[in-house]
Amino acid sequence: MQVAVAMAGFLWRPLTDAEEDTAFVLRLRNAGPALEALFSTGVSREEHLRFVRAPEREEEINWIIEKGGEPLGASGIYHLDRKNRRAEVGRVVALLPQLYPLSLIVSCFVAFDHLGLNKVAGDTLTGNLVVARALERVGVVREGVLREHVFKNNEFRDVLLFGILARNWRDMKPALFANHGEPQIITHVE
């Protein structure tokens, strides 16, 4: 699925397998902050290209976030379950901290207002305070903890679970849009 969204001077455009996108994502995903925050311990060029080109990605939305043509981050909507009207959001890696809450707002806007979903969920390692705080600042509810759920760097790590329902999104989006601006769909191709 190809969706492009503009908000607050930034553009969320479809991630491609072009060399520019690949090189940027590899730099971002393999840098210190991302290595600490994400479940994986880095990604190779081959793994990234396999990820982008996989047939199941057609039911996902993966973005490069840019401003003025300069890439500044990546994020996505994935595990889209149309039957149960839910999806997961995340995979956010960004050079600017403000892109974490903005990416969540854009993801909720697309998931609820354009795909008609009922629930959006996300998760993060307990030590990833940037993402946990961004989720909570936007109004996403902490739903639980998966204890020792991920084995990373020779230790088990807990994972925080978050969720937001469509009815909660409807209530909170006027304030979010007033504070951050309203997202605009530029293109949407199923």
Per-residue pLDDT tens digits for 53-83? 886 777 899 999 999 999 999 999 999 999 9
- The parent domain of residue 184 ranges over 2-189
Confidence of residue 190 (pLDDT cuts 50, 70, 90): low
Give the chain's domain count: 1
pLDDT in the model for residue 105: 95
Percent of the chain topping pLDDT 70:
98
- Can you read off the two tokens belonging to residue 135? 């989720």
| Mean pLDDT value across residues 104-109 | 96
CATH code, domain carrying 86? 3.40.630.30
Order of all β-strands in the sheet with 86-94:
141-152, 155-165, 119-125, 86-94, 70-81, 61-67, 10-14, 2-7, 184-189
Question: Which pLDDT band, with edges at 50, 70 and 90, does 130 fall under?
Answer: confident
Q: Say whether pTM exceeds 0.85.
A: yes
When mean pLDDT is compared across 2-11, 41-50, 74-83, 143-152, the lowest value belongs to 41-50
- C-alpha dihedral sign at 128, 131, 136, 140: negative
Q: Of 75, 80, 74, nearest to 60 (Cα)?
A: 80
The bridge status of strand 2-7 relative to strand 184-189 is: antiparallel
Residue 134, pLDDT score:
84
